[in-house]
Amino acid sequence: MTEINHAERAHAVLSASGASRWMACTPSAALEKDIPDQTSVFAEEGTAAHELSEIFLMYEIGDIAKATRTRRVNKFKKENEFYSQEMEDYVLQYVDVVVEKINEAKARSEDAVILLEQRLDFSNWVPEGFGTGDVVIISDGLLEVIDLKYGKGVAVSAVDNPQLKLYGVGAYSQYEMLYDIDSVSMTIVQPRLDSISTETLLATDLVVWADNEVQPKAELAWEGEGDFVPGEHCRFCKIRSTCRARADENLAMAKYDFAEPEEIAADPQLGLNEIGKILFQADELKKWAEDIKKYALDQSEKHGKKIDGWKLVEGRSNRRYADEEKVLEKLTGNYDEDAIAPRKLKGITAMEKTIGKSQFNNLLADLVVKPSGKPTLVPETDKRPELNSTASAQADFE
């Protein structure tokens, strides 16, 4: 079996991972098309986790022998800068979920089919549309697509997730002639957030969605037509910093005009209902302002462009030792060692990384406390239970 280069998984113009964006804002894909992908350390780390998981999964499904798995894992440990015991622990959690699903599938049908890193073609609905399914399992009546997300920034749900639905409908259209498939189940495993979410749909419903929702939007997106629609989905758009529609939307928000009745508008102070509305906009405004700042700095620093009214200067910096060992050499003997270089225990995340998550839990679970978080205002839709504000004020006071 050939090894797959995960970092070079090709990207379609109308990619599954960008579907929530090009379906909401159809002209975005054509504008993004010629802008190169910017790789990030998080993306590279995700690629590494996929590579490692594939080695373990290939063994689990009998594609490679135990000795080959050990050799490949050892090679990975030696050569991949992102490897840590913590990564291996998280990857194995994901592998456990997949193995459980494989066993369930085999219990349903002995000849269940398991495919790793499968190219899934959904070009029946999206021009040149394809993606890569980490794991596809086909058993009696059920096709499953499982996706590993190694990030820990934002929890991604599989429910009504266009990326997973496109993988699902693509897999279904590829295999429906060969197998009896009634339902398609789509799962996202995010081990670092301890999150597994699944959505199961009737295959016919998935096709209706692709016919009615996806195809018309994909046609517009392919032609670069339709309306610019700013929203949450702008977050990873490649033109998010210079997009006029997003700027217009944010500048209009910043003007704060909620068309209040006259008696409210005449009050010199904002009411709590108005503050509530502004809070909803504040996060989006902040993100937009940060994107603009980052873009302007990049243009100025890396491309030598002049931003009207602004100049590039050296930022403030803090003093630091040029050579810590030499500093120690000079001071040792004259001063108490603990006073000049106190030994410090590694932080929790760094320690988990060093000794591995399971070992950390075995040895130190009793010695870790989680103090209550600082009260935070979040929209009512947030899943966390509401704090009793008087009790919280009392706790602060104590």
- Pick the closer one to ligand SF4 by CB: 162 or 168: 162
Task: Report CA Rg, the chain.
Answer: 26
- CB of 247 vs ligand SF4, minimal distance in Å: 9
- CB of 237 vs ligand SF4, minimal distance in Å: 3
Q: Residue numbers of the site for ligand SF4 (CB under 6 A)?
A: 21, 25, 28, 31, 228-230, 233-234, 237, 239-240, 243, 245-246
- Pick the closer one to ligand SF4 by CB: 46 or 230: 230
- Pick the closer one to ligand SF4 by CB: 93 or 241: 241
- CB of 284 vs ligand SF4, minimal distance in Å: 11
Sign of the Cα torsion 43, 45, 46, 52 reads: positive
- Pick the closer one to ligand SF4 by CB: 239 or 270: 239
Task: For residue 192, give the nearest of 59, 73, 349 by alpha carbon.
Answer: 349
- CB of 289 vs ligand SF4, minimal distance in Å: 14
Contact 296, 310 (CB under 8 A): yes
- CB of 249 vs ligand SF4, minimal distance in Å: 8
- Pick the closer one to ligand SF4 by CB: 192 or 238: 238
- CB of 164 vs ligand SF4, minimal distance in Å: 20
- Pick the closer one to ligand SF4 by CB: 25 or 210: 25
Contact 122, 145 (CB under 8 A): no
- Pick the closer one to ligand SF4 by CB: 242 or 392: 242
- CB of 381 vs ligand SF4, minimal distance in Å: 22
- CB of 21 vs ligand SF4, minimal distance in Å: 5
- Pick the closer one to ligand SF4 by CB: 59 or 288: 288
Contact 179, 138 (CB under 8 A): yes
- CB of 24 vs ligand SF4, minimal distance in Å: 7
- Pick the closer one to ligand SF4 by CB: 29 or 57: 29
